[in-house]
Chains A and B, each alone.
Chain A
Amino acid sequence: MPDPIHSIEPIDLMSSILVFCSVQDGRIKRSSLEAMTRARDVASGAGLGLSAVLLGSSAHDLAGEAMSYGAQHVYVVMDRVLDTHLNAPVLSALESVVREAAPRMLVAASTESVKDILGALAVRCDAAVLPDVASFALSADEVSCQRPVMAAKKLANTSSTHSLVFVSVRSGSYEAKQAPADGTVVEVAFTFDDATLRQTLKEVVTTAGDTVDLSEAQVVVAAGRGVRDENGRALVQELAEITGAAIGASRAVVETGLFPATAQIGQTGKVVSPDLYFAVGISGAVQHTAGMANSRIIVAINKDPDAPIFDIATYGLVGDCFTILPLLNAALRDAMN
């Protein structure tokens, strides 16, 4: 790990793309590394540098990982208050880093924590924002992007000619690829007055079963209305266990309480793009498919042969999930061994 330095060679204004790396369970999120890979390509095409920012007490330890994806400067803000997400201190920390780094763009993965701060940070830093994009590019005078609108039925070609542009990137839009750089860690001074917070994080309630992070998972097993009850849920859990999958759900079965709200996939929930997605008893309304249509292989199991999920499924199995899943679970167990 390189030593931190407190004064660095002056960076020209607008000389870099700065990537905010989200940290979860002691690692940089895959979606952040995807965004960073794209930012690296865009920066190199435009003759800009690549920097990263990491927040929290593990920031320094993770700087090396950011460098392995090409970050030449890694700004770290080490305060423990940043170990859990609370918007006021995160905003303060990122504002300090943006002022110090003076980037052309700030790029981040479109996580719930990033969605929480992006608008306010833009007002604070006098930036334009292109949120939740599926792709982005930078030319001499503008940042352009495509972003899903109307529950992802359309992609809007959106752009900004503002001098500072923030972009948040949907998970799975790009592939994360390493390209090591000789980087420097820059510790950014940060003081935060609790008295000015006007907000307190009391607790974070996690649900048992959130063992695999949904938005990062390579395999997702998602349940819909066809998974009627606890017996159906047990079959879904078994399939997830066999395939090492995270469990997702449509809004219908979150509303009934059968699955936790953290499992919800779709326009109002999480966006996932795993290698393999099992849609079990999910009809495939656009509000759901908006969150999963970029999955590589989609296996749909539904007894209604006309269910719209079959329009996007790689493999559609017409049948009742209560009949199919026990057979599939047994066959997968054999196949995995």
Chain B
Amino acid sequence: MQAAVQTGRMVLNAYDASAVEEALVLNAENGDPVDLVLVGPSTATETIRKALAMGASDATHLILENAEGADSHAISALLASHFDGHGYDVILTGKQSQDTDAGLAGAMLAERLGLPYATNAVGLRVEGDSLVVTRQGDAGQEIIVLETPCLVTCSNDMNNPRIPALKGIMAAKRKQIATESAAAPSARTAVAGTVDPPGREPGVKLEGEPEELVADLIRRLNTEAGVL
């Protein structure tokens, strides 16, 4: 089974690291390669080296220098043209990026490729030609069987990504990274800037004997907060 992994930018996202780890574990038994693809500026090469050092075989870097202006819509369109005709059995992505927390690109990519998919996966195993996915849903863990080819977005609760060993780091330096310069597809959303979230009213810190603390708290919950 071949697996491909979309990694994040600059620093390997925790979610993407879990996707890489899971791909390596899935393919460890049959020895199939794990290929990586990353969309991001040229400075993101180190991120790819990190994932290669974990044990991935090949990497493609879709170079997008102005990645800031690209939203999930644009990124998933770029990735869809990359995957077109590749014929992977399984595509794994992180469930969201750690900076924007949008969590859209994975399912968008699956839809563009016409693949069945599952998101927020915390467990994966192969069963014949299918992938059994455990995903964290609203009311519990949903066990879903997906036919391959398919796409799964991974939670960081799925595994503990390996720390690359020196041997892997050295080997990663010798691995070729295919680069393609990507034309930025038009985004459908724009970020005008960030602001600090509204601060909370300053609270009170109660110190002293436990009995006094508890009595003080109960009084305040009753009178000030009105929640009891």
Set of chain B residues within 8 Å of A323, measured between Cβ atoms: 210
Q: Which of B205-224 contact A (CB under 8 A)?
A: 205-207, 210-211, 213-215, 217-218, 220-222
A262 touches B210 (CB 8 A): no
Name the prevailing secondary structure of the B interface residues.
Answer: mixed
Give the residues from 179 to 227 in chain A that come closer than 8 angstroms, CB to CB, to chain B: 197-207, 210, 213, 215, 219
Interface stretch (choices A53-61, A83-91, A98-106): A83-91
The answer to whether B101 and A312 touch across the interface, beta carbons within 8 angstroms, is no
- 1/0 contact string of A120-136 vs chain B (CB within 8 Å): 10111000111110100
CB distance B139 to A206 under 8 Å?
Answer: yes
Give the docked Cα–Cα distance between A162 and B73 (Å): 12
Q: Is A149 in contact with B194, judged by CB distance below 8 angstroms?
A: yes
Question: How many of A's residues come within 8 Å of B, CB to CB?
Answer: 88
Indicate if the CB atoms of B145 and A200 lie closer than 8 Å: yes
Chain B CB within 8 A of A256 CB? no
Residue B197 at the A interface, CB < 8 A?
A: yes
Stretch at the interface among B3-11, B38-46, B102-110, B165-173: B102-110
| In contact, B108 and A120 (Cβ under 8 angstroms) | yes
Query: Is B144 in contact with A331, judged by CB distance below 8 angstroms?
Result: no
Q: Are A132 and B101 in contact (CB under 8 A)?
A: yes
Q: How long is the Cα–Cα vector from A128 to B220 in the complex, in angstroms?
A: 46
Task: Find out whether the CB atom of A159 lies under 8 angstroms from the CB atom of B192.
Answer: yes
Does any Cβ of A come within 8 Å of B204's Cβ?
A: yes
Question: Which of A123, A128, A204, A254 is B157 in contact with, Cβ under 8 Å?
Answer: A254
- Please tell me if the beta carbons of A160 and B190 are within 8 angstroms of each other in the complex: yes
**Contact B99–A159 (Cβ < 8 Å):** no
Which A residues are in CB contact (< 8 Å) with B197? 134, 148, 152-155, 293
- Min C-beta distance of B3 to chain A, whole Å: 18
> Does A331 contact B136, Cβ atoms closer than 8 Å?
no
A162 to B95 CA separation, bound complex (whole angstroms): 25
Interface residue stretch chosen among B24-32, B114-122, B175-183: B114-122
B196 at the interface (CB under 8 A from A): yes
Report which residue of B76, B189, B207, B228 has the largest number of chain A beta carbons within 10 angstroms of its beta carbon.
B189
Given contacts A118-B104, A158-B192, A316-B203, 4 further A-B contacts (CB under 8 A): A129-B188, A152-B197, A316-B205, A324-B214
User: Which residue numbers of A lie inside 8 Å of B, CB to CB?
Assistant: 22, 24, 85-88, 111-113, 115-120, 122-124, 128-132, 134, 146-160, 162, 197-207, 210, 213, 215, 219, 251, 254-255, 261-262, 264, 267-268, 275-276, 293, 296-299, 305, 310, 312-319, 323-324, 327-328, 331-332, 335-336
26 residue pairs from A and B, CB less than 8 Å apart: A112-B120, A119-B103, A120-B107, A120-B108, A120-B110, A123-B76, A123-B108, A124-B111, A129-B188, A148-B197, A155-B197, A156-B193, A156-B194, A158-B191, A199-B116, A199-B144, A199-B146, A201-B142, A205-B134, A261-B157, A267-B98, A276-B221, A298-B200, A315-B220, A317-B214, A332-B218
